[in-house]
Amino acid sequence: MNRPLIALAALAGLLLGGCLGAQRSAPKPGITRVGNKPVTLPGHVIGNVLVIEDKWDKFGPYHFVIDTGSSVTLVSPDLAKRYASSGSPPPDEPQVRVRSSGGGYASLSAVTLERLQLGAARFEFVPALVYDCSDLSAQFGVRIDGILGFPLFRNTVLTLDYPNERIILRSKIPEDGIPGETILFNNADKIPMIPVRLGDREFAALIDSGSAAAIGINPAGLAPGFMYGPVDGPTVSTLAGDRSSKVGRLSGVLRIGSFDVPQPVAELTDELSSLGGGILCRFTVTFDQGHNEAFFQCDEADSLRVPPMRGSGLSFRKTPAYWKVVGVVPGSPAAAAGVRRGDLVSRINGEPATAWDPLRYDRLVSDSDKVDYTFIEGTQEHTRSIGVSVLVP
């Protein structure tokens, strides 16, 4: 699971940037039924983001992103229509403005789901917002049916087991306890913000499993030092649209409890500082919202070093037929090759772009010194061999 940040560096993040915030109190399900036995659901870590799979009706399997940085749950229009309660408003009526990690806003319609099933765990009367997950599905390579926000799990003990690519739901902490180090997130809003240290400075960071980045850091009042950068980084996709990024490698050691992350790669942000999937994927993290506790377990401390960010400098958005370039990192091999935003890629290493999914592309960029991209130019195809370099050492 020690995968480099290729999804962020080469595939533009390909997901909501996490940290969704509604303009009202965070909703939670009306009734939660977990039972006395732990509920385990399999999943996959795709681009440092944990995607779980479940099948509870004939329309499944369903795939959900677990986003502890989101204060709302988002569901696809199909799922909303299928399970909307009789008292829900029309699904196409915008009602709620939400803010993404990029600072932009979008209006989404509200719905109450009669139920949402995760294995034997059942959530009833779930407040949610309707979101078209088609772009997200294309980027992940599987159909995404929703993004499950932190309040959904208010009445459960939630474990994100990244190393074993699964989640575990419990009704309460078992009598023999939860392995790992306990860190409190003691705030009235039940937001999973924990104290972390960078050098001799302590600050609060959001545990944001919906972000592919290792760390998002707001430099205001913190003045972090960098051993490299910050430099222009990949284009990141958020709820409100694409945005450019600034990334660099910090010069200090980030301390999470007693765990040290030496000189991590960080993305600068104007929003809350956060710990994203690039760090969390080394841990098993358990949340007990009833007691405002998070438990961090990591068996291999040496694996906490964040690897260099590699890529060709291209950020993509997948379409049914092509990969569309949505960003080119200045000074990267792609920029030197003259690739421009809006260019269309029809083939990667000679194979149709539609045959590639994020995991396979991650491996290609991780293991290769160059990639052959075939671009559509008018009615012709033209192949360019573009090098893969270290964007952030």
pLDDT digits (tens, 9 = 90+) for 90-118: 555 556 777 655 556 678 889 999 999 99
The structure tokens listed for 302 are 């040496």
Q: What is the mean pLDDT of residues 261-290?
A: 94
User: 212 near 49, Cβ under 8 Å?
Assistant: yes
Exposure letters 69-108 (e unless 16+ CB within 10 A, then b): bbbbbbbbbebbeebbeeebeeeeeeebebbbbbeeebeb
Share of the chain above pLDDT 90, in %: 64
pLDDT at 217 over 90: yes
Give the model's pLDDT for residue 344.
96
Q: What is the mean pLDDT of residues 371-377?
A: 95
pLDDT at 300 over 80: no
Share of the chain above pLDDT 70, in %: 87
The domains found in the chain, sorted by start residue, are 6-170 (2.40.70.10), 181-280+297-304 (2.40.70.10), 311-392 (2.30.42.10)
User: Whole-prediction pTM value?
Assistant: 0.89
Give the model's pLDDT for residue 270.
87
User: d(Cα 108, Cα 65) in Å, to the nearest integer?
Assistant: 18
Give the model's pLDDT for residue 22.
43
Give the model's pLDDT for residue 236.
76
Give the model's pLDDT for residue 159.
98
Contacts of 192 (CB under 8 A, 6+ apart): 68, 69, 150, 185, 206, 207, 287, 294
Q: What is the mean pLDDT of residues 224-245?
A: 83
Q: What is the mean pLDDT of residues 120-127?
A: 94
Query: Average pLDDT, whole number, for the chain?
Result: 86
The structure tokens listed for 200 are 């001799």
Q: What is the mean pLDDT of residues 335-339?
A: 95
Q: What is the mean pLDDT of residues 35-44?
A: 94
Q: What element of type H or E holds 74?
A: strand 74-75
Band the pLDDT of 348: cuts 50, 70, 90: very high
pLDDT at 387 over 80: yes
Q: What is the mean pLDDT of residues 307-311?
A: 90
